[in-house]
């Protein structure tokens, strides 16, 4: 057993070696936002509704922080490989939450199907949760493990010795990123470094020089800073408690200060560009309608559709030439969607 300064140095080397190993693993389990762009029914404006639901469910069952990030990773990886109807989008999210909780959380905290079904207001038959859970696992070839943003944040906090307030602010920023298409394919290690750097800046902590810092981290930090002005109400409520150092209020104060500085400095005229921006430059350029072309995107085939058979094709089955590789997700016969404020409605 090594103790004292030598023991501390040895532990630091072990942490850095572990961080390097998982950096390689994370590449194998990253979702592809460009493939999700190919979805015919689910669109990026629907994502905040589902992420809000998952965050509230995650908090309701007191699950570990990494469970939330793993849930969204499983959801996005599945949507990178399967075409999902919008009526199944929430079901996929619930299945991902079940898998993530069983993978890393305590057994007594894993949600029960009847509890999730109640949170979905009875939208799905109970058996559909189990079938979708198996469908997600088969589609991902049972590859569940993924080094999450929270995992890398804990390692970096240990290395850099950041305080709890910085850690909570970084977690808040990382969860804000879950709502946006921009960060779906961002490596968790990059997100962790960028969110910690931004958290230190917001809280007025000294900047820490990281040998791993590069252009990608700079771009990510800038993108994160542009999404802080209007966080989700559900997420802001979560991080307004003393458990999370009330970082919601501290971020709001920082944003007000920045707005005041901008007003005092006056408008800064920039160069006028006469070249119209191409349509594919929009991060929300999801194809709409039947037969919509995917612009600025080449080389990917349309992924197989999740539902199978005439009873779930909704008149769209003819548009997909590739059959599903995995068991189909059933839809209850004669099932009528209840109208309830808790049910996600994209109409």
**Mean model confidence pLDDT for the chain:** 77
Domains of the chain are 33-139 (1.10.472.10), 149-262 (1.10.472.10)
Tokens of 74: 């499983």
Q: Is residue 327 a contact partner of residue 134, using CB atoms and an 8 Å limit?
A: yes
Pick the closest to residue 123 from 76, 86, 75, 70 (CA basis). 86
Q: Is residue 232 a contact partner of residue 52, using CB atoms and an 8 Å limit?
A: yes
Q: Which helix (H) or strand (E) holds 333?
A: none
DSSP 98-164: HHHHHHHS-GGGSPPHHHHHHHTTT-S-HHHHHHHHHHHHHHTTT------HHHHHHHHHHHHT--H
Per-residue pLDDT of 161-183, as tens digits, reads 899 999 999 999 999 999 999 99
Q: Is residue 209 a contact partner of residue 235, using CB atoms and an 8 Å limit?
A: no
Tokens 């030598």 correspond to 6
Query: How far, in Å, CA of 231 to CA of 143, rounded?
Result: 31
Predicted confidence band at 319 (pLDDT cuts at 50, 70, 90)?
very low
Q: Is residue 121 a contact partner of residue 342, using CB atoms and an 8 Å limit?
A: yes
Tokens of 105: 């959380």
How distant, in Å, are the alpha carbons of 81, 169, 238, 290, 299 from that of 92?
13, 29, 24, 23, 26
Per-residue pLDDT of 36-56, as tens digits, reads 999 999 999 999 999 999 999
Residue 157 vs residue 28, higher pLDDT: 157
Q: For residue 330, is it left (φ>0), alpha (ψ between -120 and 50) or beta?
A: beta
Q: Is residue 213 a contact partner of residue 192, using CB atoms and an 8 Å limit?
A: no
Return the DSSP state at 40: S
146 class by beta-carbon count within 10 Å (0-12 exposed, 13-18 middle, 19+ buried): buried
Tokens of 207: 């900047």
Torsion from C-alpha of 68, 215, 296, 306, nearest 10 degrees = -20
Query: How far, in Å, CA of 211 to CA of 32, rounded?
Result: 27
Residue 3 vs residue 60, higher pLDDT: 60
Long-range contacts of 160-168 (CB under 8 A, 24+ apart): 160/196, 160/208, 160/210, 162/196, 162/200, 162/205, 163/205, 164/245, 165/203, 165/245, 165/247, 165/250, 166/196, 166/199, 166/200, 166/203, 166/205, 167/199, 168/239, 168/244, 168/245, 168/247
Predicted confidence band at 202 (pLDDT cuts at 50, 70, 90)?
very high
Q: For residue 82, is it left (φ>0), alpha (ψ between -120 and 50) or beta?
A: beta
Q: Is residue 54 a contact partner of residue 72, using CB atoms and an 8 Å limit?
A: yes
Beta-carbon count within 10 A of 56 CB: 16
Phi, psi of 216 (to 5 degrees): -60, -40
Angle at which helix 149-160 crosses helix 188-203, to 10 degrees, equals 50
Predicted confidence band at 21 (pLDDT cuts at 50, 70, 90)?
low
Asked if residue 302 has pLDDT above 60, the reply is: no
Mean pLDDT (whole number) for 228-240: 93
Q: What is the pLDDT of residue 61?
A: 93
Q: What is the pLDDT of residue 160?
A: 86
Predicted confidence band at 145 (pLDDT cuts at 50, 70, 90)?
confident
Q: What is the pLDDT of residue 16?
A: 56
Q: Residue 83 pairs with which residues in a beta bridge?
A: 305
Residue 55 vs residue 340, higher pLDDT: 55
Asked if residue 107 has pLDDT above 60, the reply is: yes
Tokens of 210: 């990281």
What number of residues does the chain have?
Answer: 347
Per-residue pLDDT of 109-122, as tens digits, reads 999 999 999 999 88
């Amino acid at each position: 057993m090594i103790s004292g300064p030598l023991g501390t140095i040895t532990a630091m080397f072990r942490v850095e070696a572990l961080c390097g190993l998982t950096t390689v693993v994370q590449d194998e389990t990253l979702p592809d936002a460009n493939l999700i762009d190919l979805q015919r029914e689910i669109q990026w404006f629907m994502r905040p509704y589902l992420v809000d639901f998952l965050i509230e469910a995650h908090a309701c069952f007191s699950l570990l922080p990494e469970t939330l990030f793993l849930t969204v990773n499983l959801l996005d990886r599945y949507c990178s490989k399967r075409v999902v109807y919008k009526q199944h989008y929430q079901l996929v999210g619930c299945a991902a939450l079940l898998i993530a909780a069983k993978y890393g959380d305590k057994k007594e905290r894993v949600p029960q199907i009847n509890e999730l079904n109640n949170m979905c207001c009875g939208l799905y038959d109970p058996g559909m949760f189990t079938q979708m859970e198996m469908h997600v696992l088969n589609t991902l070839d049972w590859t569940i493990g993924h080094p999450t943003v929270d995992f890398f944040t804990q390692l970096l906090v240990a290395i850099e010795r950041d305080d709890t307030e910085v850690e909570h602010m970084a977690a808040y920023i990382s969860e804000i990123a879950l709502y946006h298409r921009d960060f779906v394919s961002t490596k968790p290690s990059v997100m962790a470094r960028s969110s910690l750097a931004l958290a230190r800046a917001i809280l007025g902590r000294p900047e820490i020089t990281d040998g791993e810092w590069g252009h990608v981290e700079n771009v990510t930090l800038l993108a994160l800073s542009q999404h802080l002005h209007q966080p989700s109400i559900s997420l802001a409520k979560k991080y307004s408690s003393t458990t999370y150092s009330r970082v919601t209020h501290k971020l709001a104060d920082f944003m007000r200060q920045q707005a005041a500085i901008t007003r005092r400095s006056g408008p800064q005229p920039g160069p006028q560009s006469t070249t119209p921006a191409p349509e594919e430059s929009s991060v929300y350029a999801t194809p709409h309608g039947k037969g919509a072309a995917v612009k600025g995107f080449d080389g990917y085939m349309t992924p197989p559709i999740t539902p199978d058979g005439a009873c779930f094709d909704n008149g769209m089955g003819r548009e997909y030439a590739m059959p599903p590789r995995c068991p189909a997700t059933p839809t209850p016969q004669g099932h009528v969607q209840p109208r309830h404020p808790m049910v996600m409605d994209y109409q």
